[in-house]
Amino acid sequence: LTRKRIHIGRRTGKIGFLGKGMTLPSREKSEVVSALALRIDEDLISLNEADLDRCRTDMPLVPGRMRSLFSRRPAAVVRPGSAKCVADVIDTCIEEKTVVVPRGGGTAGLGGATAVRGGVIIDVSGMNQVLGLDKERMCATVEAGCSWQALKHELAGAGLRLRSYPLSAPQSTVGGWMSTGGYGIGTLGAGCFHSQVEAMEVAVPSGLLVNAGPGDGRYAIGSLAGAEGQMGIITKLEVPVARMAERKCYRLLRLASDRDGAEVLKVLANTEKPPFALMMLNRSLSEALRDLNGLPTGGSPMIIVADEGDAGDADRLDGLLKEVAPAGRFELDDGEDARILWDARFSYLGARPGRTVLLTGEALVRPSDLHSLLEPEGSPSSRQSGLLHLCQVVDRDTVLVMTGLVREPVEGADLVRDVVRTSRFAASVAARGGRPYGIGLWNSRFARIVLGERFKNLKLIKSETDRIHILNPGKFFSLTTNTGWPVWGPFFNLILGLAGRP
């Protein structure tokens, strides 16, 4: 009894007896849906087969057999129109002993937004309004399901722009980036998105709405940022913005080798006033973009430098590039190609018809370790292995390495090999002192490395605020199958092997 907790539904007054062992949806699906229909507008509840199936995965990468071990069809997908509705759904799910999984654009790709144990998916992408712009405080108040692209358009109308955004901006949501890594374009100057946000509203696992501010207490931003929907569902945020850029300048550095690129990137990252964005395409990615997308990369490794900001020193960027010239061999291209490649940045790692460029893993490494990751001694270089790498400098000491593969549409064993390769990539990053980026399902084994010192604190807060593990179970802190069986590292590899058998 001491391990149990009583929950009294906020509106119905219904008493729920919540045991620690409550890890699976224990009511019939139809009961959950009926209970939801009593609380919220029925039109917000989808039982559409395609919707339910879509939420079993967040990327096409996962082979069918693994999907059947690590996901269940949710009972329903709910698209709330307000924060209160999110809180009502959580409250109902507590009463009905049914798990809840938040989902934004579904672009994170590590299985964080999938229904491992079924339950109810809360798809926040319907909460997509920009609620206000404050030009004095230079911030926008937005609903968590607003996509970055939509926010960018809204800001442009008011002469404002985003200070930072992820490369998945056309599909991903503001709340989704706050709940995951928070590093991307613009964070080199503005800092990680987590550190920029000072206020947000969150529906917590007791079914209440709270306002979160700075700090790392129970309901503070430090505990909710990057927690991948384990601690609460973000419903509203204040996003810092900037005035529309008066200076826009793009340059390409065409390189002789990936190694040269790593050297130049390291020096550029450490200049006194680094540019707005700095990213490098390795040779394999450059070739793929030339051959598949018809982009003017020329097939050589390259660095794309973007400088956007206030007017002032228009020649600043070229001065900067002269400074770093001794660091490695490159040919400076200040023509139209730089602009074309910058405009195409959202399409570098994404699905394309026919053939697919899959994003299979992301990691954070120190700039000085980048070359050994791209060209590891004693292992095949990225050129030989065909791995595509997009390396964004996201702060002075950190490069976000995104890894992809060119694939014909595949299933079965090939797909499993890709999952294994991603897993090996994460392990090799960890061995070099780097961190896999994101946890979800597939990196749950690396949660301690990814979270570092935060791991203990977050686990404690989770056990205090969500004792029954109603929010997003089966991943992040511990990996389990859809029946609740814990999965340890060697066992995970065995499952991968078995799933890959023809």
Ligand X SMILES: Cc1cc2nc3c(=O)[nH]c(=O)nc-3n(C[C@H](O)[C@H](O)[C@H](O)COP(=O)(O)OP(=O)(O)OC[C@H]3O[C@@H](n4cnc5c(N)ncnc54)[C@H](O)[C@@H]3O)c2cc1C
How many residues contact ligand X, by CB under 6 A? 36
Site for ligand X in 466-485 (CB under 6 A): 472
Closest CA to 119 of 67, 169, 72: 72
The torsion angles phi and psi of 311, rounded to 5 degrees, stand at: -60, -165
- Asked if 274 interacts with ligand X (CB under 6 A), we say no
Nearest-CB residue to ligand X?
176
Site for ligand X in 129-158 (CB under 6 A): 144
Rg, C-alpha atoms of the chain: 23
**Binding residue for ligand X (CB under 6 A) from 350, 376, 386, 412?**
350
Is 76 or 349 the residue whose CB approaches ligand X more closely? 349
Q: Which stretch binds ligand X (CB under 6 A): 176-184, 337-345, 413-421, 489-497?
A: 176-184
**Binding residue for ligand X (CB under 6 A) from 121, 124, 212, 406?**
124
SS3 label, residue 286 = helix
- Asked if 255 interacts with ligand X (CB under 6 A), we say no
**Binding residue for ligand X (CB under 6 A) from 103, 117, 283, 435?**
103
**Binding residue for ligand X (CB under 6 A) from 9, 80, 118, 175?**
175
The neighbouring-strand residues paired with 139 are 134, 240
CB of 318 to ligand X, least distance (A): 26
| Residues in contact with 384: Cβ distance below 8 Å, sequence separation at least 6, in sequence order | none
Rounded Cα gap, residues 493 and 308, in angstroms: 45
Both ends of the chain: CA-CA distance in Å?
A: 48
- Asked if 119 interacts with ligand X (CB under 6 A), we say no
- Asked if 70 interacts with ligand X (CB under 6 A), we say no
Rounded Cα gap, residues 466 and 39, in angstroms: 22
Rounded Cα gap, residues 296 and 200, in angstroms: 42
- Asked if 434 interacts with ligand X (CB under 6 A), we say no
**Binding residue for ligand X (CB under 6 A) from 22, 36, 113, 450?**
113
Q: Which stretch binds ligand X (CB under 6 A): 1-9, 13-21, 171-179, 307-315?
A: 171-179
Location of structure tokens 């967040």: 58
**β-strands 388-395, 302-309: how paired?**
unpaired
- Asked if 228 interacts with ligand X (CB under 6 A), we say yes
- Asked if 74 interacts with ligand X (CB under 6 A), we say no
| Residues in contact with 390: Cβ distance below 8 Å, sequence separation at least 6, in sequence order | 167, 279, 280, 281, 282, 285, 348, 349, 401, 402, 404
Q: Which parts of this chain interact with ligand X (CB under 6 A)?
A: 58, 101-109, 112-113, 124, 144, 166-168, 172-173, 175-177, 179-181, 183-184, 228-229, 233-234, 349-350, 359, 440, 472
